[in-house]
Every structure is written in C-alpha cells, then in structure tokens.
Structure 1
C-alpha cells in the first residue's frame, strides 16, 4: 500500500445513518419485482449495507452484479467503458435499482442505465453513495444520493486507489493525490 494518509470525509456513523435514509427513500418509490444491481467493485460495501437496510425497510430485492471498468490504476477515468462482468438475470419488465459508489463523470452510470433499458427494464433507478455534480461530463441523474462529495480523490468504504484502501470503514480523501498538478 502507498504511504498516503486518508483524511476522513464521511465517518462510519454518518454512512450508516444515510444508508438507512436512502433505503426508506427507495422503499417509498414502491418498486415492483425489484432487482438490485451493484456495480462492482467499488460499490460492494455500500451495496451490502444498502441491501440490509432495504430488508429493514420491507423490501426483498433479487440481487445480481455487473462489473464495469473505466479507471484502471489511475486517478481519473480513462473515458473508455468496458463491461467486465455481465448480469446473469433477466431485467425485462422489472424495476432495477442500479447501485454505484460515486457519480462523477457520469459515463459508467449512463452506460449501465442504457444497457438495462435496452434489455427491457421497466424502470431503472440509480442509487449512488457519492456525487460530484461539478465533475459530470455526461448528463445522468441519480435518483438517490448519499452525499455531495468535494472534488477530492476518495477511498474507503469499498473505493480504492490501485487496489488499496477498500477496507477502510469510512470515506476519506487521499491528501497527496489532491495536490494541484504542476
């Protein structure tokens, strides 16, 4: 792991409280025949907590996973979207809850949303833990947003930098990656 220190942006208590609120907001939309689809790998911790909260809110979604790559080992999106792992479940006629860690450029979520609509999903709702609205390059809106995120490189709670930091129980910023580039 690199020597970077992560500054806490959203601690465990704030994450837990907001996930419960998001589950209540999702349940209030009365989804039908719901399938939850986390985008791996960064969303896995958020998705696990959100799925348990959805259960407490009275929902029992089926779960499948999709893996989409756009970052590689870098700190900015490559701009190229690659479907690494496809769904095994049919979404035609169903409500879909697409779960992601961060809405930044919008490319990944726009790609995934369109893929699901093209496959006949009745409705695609997007839940994202973080949103950087000032970084969007493609217009896509999340239906449920945990937190507005400052323009920092974030890690923890499933999000990584080159495979590290996913284990952190909070969302933090890597200070040395936030410094202006010369």
Structure 2
C-alpha cells in the first residue's frame, strides 16, 4: 500500500487514490519554503511566534516553522465552526486558548484554509486584545470567493477555487489529514 492511500472499508471514506491532486507534495514544499524565506527576511533579527489553528493547520505550521530561519516558537488554538459538517456553521467557538502570553511579540496566526473569514476574524480580534507587537496571518489555502467578512492573509501558499479539499492536515470528518498532497474531495461524496 502506498503512503498516499487512505484505506477504508467504509464507502463514506473511500481511498483517496482516484481523487484529483490539486497540489503535489513537492508543490506544497516549494511554496512553504518560499513563505518561510519571505517571513525570515521580514523578521530578520527578531523572534516570531506562530499560532496554529488546530487541527487543520498543524502540518502546515510544522513545515513553515522549519522553513523560517529566524528564531520562532509556536502555540496552538482550537476553534469549532464546522463540527462534522463540510460547511461552516458560521458560529465560532474557542475550544483551546493559547498557553503563553503574546504581549509585545510578533505573532503570525497560521491557518489551513481562509474561506469565509469568520474564524480568522474572530481569532484576530481575540489576539489583538493581548497586545502583540504585530499580528499577521499565514494560510496554506485561500478560497477568496467564499469570503463573508473582509479579511486577507499576509502570507498565502495557494489560491483555490470553491471546492472541498483534503490532505496536508485538511480533513473530511477527521479522515485524510495524513495525505501528503492536497486533493479535491468529490462533491458527490461530501454530502450536504
């Protein structure tokens, strides 16, 4: 069995092998390195705190942290806006807050997908209350046509169409996060 397969006897979670690859492992690695280089230049001589939004951004954050050459550390927040659905409910709930103070620090919020903007708008407001020295946003994927609130990321790996994606930390009902590439999940399997 190849490392890109997701075995499943359940028809709801079929193998990802036939699903169309949107971005390969190498394309992702190249873009993450480019973002790391950009952040390293912009924060030369300074420290950066990456705050990842669990669970989807965990893999992107780890790769990005390794690509950034300036001193960096990370923390995580967890929010809920999807539950087990594939479309955001619109209501954002904080499940896990940051562990350490961020006052006076250069913070980059790291997200897997920026789509409606509701989650990142909520988190940005929450983080600004803690008075960081600066606050920027990095996202692996930007799905701009889904935006409901005016928010943009400072660092974007890829722009994507309004399609449901899996892999590289992104899931469908907690499955497929381990795929090394980003694939289009078939609309007919996504249900509602």
What is residue 99 of structure 1 aligned with on the other side? Answer: 110
Aligned residues: 178
Aligned pairs for 1:65-80 (under 5 A) are 65-80=76-91
SS of 1:59's equivalent?
A: coil
TM-score by length of 1: 0.92
What is residue 172 of structure 1 aligned with on the other side? Answer: 183
What is residue 109 of structure 1 aligned with on the other side? Answer: 120
Aligned-pair CA distance for 1:85:
0.6
Between structure 1 and structure 2, the one with the greater Rg is 2
Aligned-pair CA distance for 1:3:
2.3
1:20 correspondence with 2:33: yes
Aligned-pair CA distance for 1:33:
3.6
What is residue 40 of structure 1 aligned with on the other side? Answer: 54
What is residue 170 of structure 2 aligned with on the other side? Answer: 159
Structure 1 residue runs of 5 or longer lacking an equivalent are none
1:100–1:127 CA contact under 8 A, matched in 2: yes
Q: Deviations over 1:100-157 (max 9, x none)?
A: 0010000111111111111111211100000011110011110000000111100100
Aligned-pair CA distance for 1:176:
3.2
Aligned-pair CA distance for 1:4:
6.4
Return the alpha-carbon distance in structure 1 between the equivalents of residues 191 and 94 of structure 2: 32
1:4–1:175 CA contact under 8 A, matched in 2: no
Structure 2 residue runs of 5 or longer lacking an equivalent are 1-7
What is residue 30 of structure 1 aligned with on the other side? Answer: 43
1:153–1:178 CA contact under 8 A, matched in 2: no
What is residue 5 of structure 2 aligned with on the other side? Answer: none
What is residue 49 of structure 1 aligned with on the other side? Answer: 63
More helix by share: 1
Aligned-pair CA distance for 1:28:
2.0
Aligned CA RMSD, in angstroms, stands at 1.7
Structure 1's consecutive aligned runs of 4 or more residues displaced over 3 angstroms after TM superposition are: 176-181
